[in-house]
Structure 1
């Protein structure tokens, strides 16, 4: 039964990590037109205990993408400089949508793993009751 309990923890950690990733992607999409906005990124890290890696995953620190901000030419914008340009964001909507789809698919896979473990534990309890 310990392995089944551990599989719940593994899939729950994956669900939480992908939910965090999806939240960051949605923040990036929401701020795609915000001047000076830098894309937020996160990494995944393996949970460690004193006995070694657990197999669970968590998100690392949120960092800002340091790639160049796009220059937007709009002389009527209040942030425009003498050349009529201002710094836009470095969010690429195509990349964000691809990241959102990947996070969604990973979330669904972890959800299926959680459901499979639940069904297996229910089956085991049914066998033990007989």
Structure 2
């Protein structure tokens, strides 16, 4: 039964990591028009237990995208400098939507793996009862 619980824990860690990624992608999309906003990037790292890789993943430290911010010309904006420019954000909506789809599909794949392991363990218990 340990293999089944390991499989459930493995897929649950993937779902948790992808949900964290989706949360930050949503924040990026929500702040696409916020002046001076830097895009958040989520990375994943393997969970190590007693010096051995477990196969589980977790969201690593959140980093800010250091690419240049978009310069927007609007002399009437309160943040505009002497030339009439201010810093926009470095969020590209096309990239964020692609990241959101990838995170969603990865989450769904982990959910299917979780469900399959649950069904297999349930079937095994039914066989052992006979």
* TM-score, scaled to structure 1: 0.98
**Greater mean alpha carbon deviation, residues 96-105 or residues 47-56:** 47-56
Distance 1:51 1:12 in 2: 21
Shift of 1:35: 0.1
Distance 1:101 1:125 in 2: 36
5+ residue gaps, structure 2, are none
**Paired residue for 2:22?**
22
Shift of 1:128: 1.0
| CA-to-aligned-CA distance 1:2-23 (integer Å, 9 cap, x gap) | 1111000000000000000000
Within 5 Å, give how 1:63-102 maps onto structure 2.
Answer: 63-102=63-102
Distance 1:51 1:8 in 2: 21
5+ residue gaps, structure 1, are none
Shift of 1:70: 0.4
Shift of 1:88: 0.2
Runs (4+) off by over 6 Å: none
* TM-score, scaled to structure 2: 0.98
Shift of 1:92: 0.3
Shift of 1:51: 4.8
Matched, 1:127 2:127: yes
